[in-house]
Structure 1
Amino acid sequence: MTQDTPLSPCHSRIAPDARERVLSAAQLKARGISPAQSAGRCLPGGPWQQPLPGVFVLHPGPLSDRERLRSALLYAGRPPAAGRRSAPARAGGTDPGYGEAVLTGLAALSLHGFTTAPPALATDRVDVLVPRARRLRSAGHVRLTRTSDLPEAEWVDGLPVAPAGRALADAVAGLGDALVVRRLLTEAVRGGHCEPAVVVGELNRAKVLGRPQVVHAVDSLLAEGRALAEERLYDLVRAHGLPEPLWNVDLRLPGGPHLGAVDAYWPDEAVAVELEARAPRHSRLPDGRLRQEHESVWSAYTERREHLERLGVTVVHLSPGKLRDAPRHQAAVVRTALMAAADREPAAYVMILPR
Structure 2
Amino acid sequence: MSRRQLIELGIPPGYLADQVRRRLWQSPYPGVAVIHAGPLPWPTRARAALVYCGRGAALSHSAAAFRWGLTKKPPRQIDVSVPWERRVAGQRDLRIHLRRTMPDSYGVLPTVHPPETVVDLWGELADADAAITLLCDAARARISLDDVAAAAAGRARLPRRKLLGELLEEVREGVESALERRYRVDVERRHGLPASKLQVRDHVGGRWIRADVVYPRHRLRVELDGTLAHPGGRTAADTWRDNAVLIERDERTLRYRWTHVAATPCRTASQVAAALRRGGWRGTARACRPGCPAG
User: Partner residue of 1:72?
Assistant: 49
| Letter of the structure 1 residue corresponding to residue 171 of structure 2 | E
Aligned-pair RMSD on alpha carbons? 3.1
User: Partner residue of 1:170?
Assistant: 120
1:182 maps to which of 132, 145, 162: 132
1:111 maps to which of 46, 57, 67: 67
Equivalent pair of 2:68/2:114 in contact (CA under 8 Å): yes
| Letter of the structure 1 residue corresponding to residue 9 of structure 2 | R
CA distance in 1, matches of 2:104, 2:147: 19
| Letter of the structure 2 residue corresponding to residue 101 of structure 1 | A
**Residue 102 of structure 1 pairs with residue 67 of structure 2:** no
Equivalent pair of 2:30/2:52 in contact (CA under 8 Å): yes
2:80 maps to which of 107, 118, 128: 128
| Letter of the structure 1 residue corresponding to residue 172 of structure 2 | G
Aligned residue pairs total 177
User: Partner residue of 2:28?
Assistant: 51
The structural deviation recorded for 1:32 is 2.6
CA distance in 2, matches of 1:149, 1:208: 14
Decide whether aligned partners of structure 1 residues 126 and 206 sit closer, same or farther in structure 2, where only a CA change above 3 A counts: farther
2:5 maps to which of 27, 42, 46: 27
The structural deviation recorded for 1:143 is 1.4
| Pairing 1:246-325 to 2, within 5 Å after superposition | none
| Letter of the structure 2 residue corresponding to residue 47 of structure 1 | L
Decide whether aligned partners of structure 1 residues 218 and 65 sit closer, same or farther in structure 2, where only a CA change above 3 A counts: farther
User: Partner residue of 2:216?
Assistant: none
Instruction: Give 5+ residue unaligned stretches, structure 2.
Output: 176-197, 199-295
2:172 maps to which of 225, 241, 246: 225
| Letter of the structure 2 residue corresponding to residue 46 of structure 1 | R
CA distance in 2, matches of 1:148, 1:173: 16
Decide whether aligned partners of structure 1 residues 64 and 150 sit closer, same or farther in structure 2, where only a CA change above 3 A counts: same
| Letter of the structure 2 residue corresponding to residue 183 of structure 1 | T
Identity %: 30
| Letter of the structure 1 residue corresponding to residue 103 of structure 2 | P
The structural deviation recorded for 1:196 is 4.5
Instruction: Give 5+ residue unaligned stretches, structure 1.
Output: 1-22, 78-98, 232-355
CA distance in 2, matches of 1:72, 1:191: 25
User: Partner residue of 1:40?
Assistant: 18
CA distance in 2, matches of 1:171, 1:57: 30
The structural deviation recorded for 1:31 is 2.6
Equivalent pair of 1:104/1:171 in contact (CA under 8 Å): no
Decide whether aligned partners of structure 1 residues 151 and 201 sit closer, same or farther in structure 2, where only a CA change above 3 A counts: closer
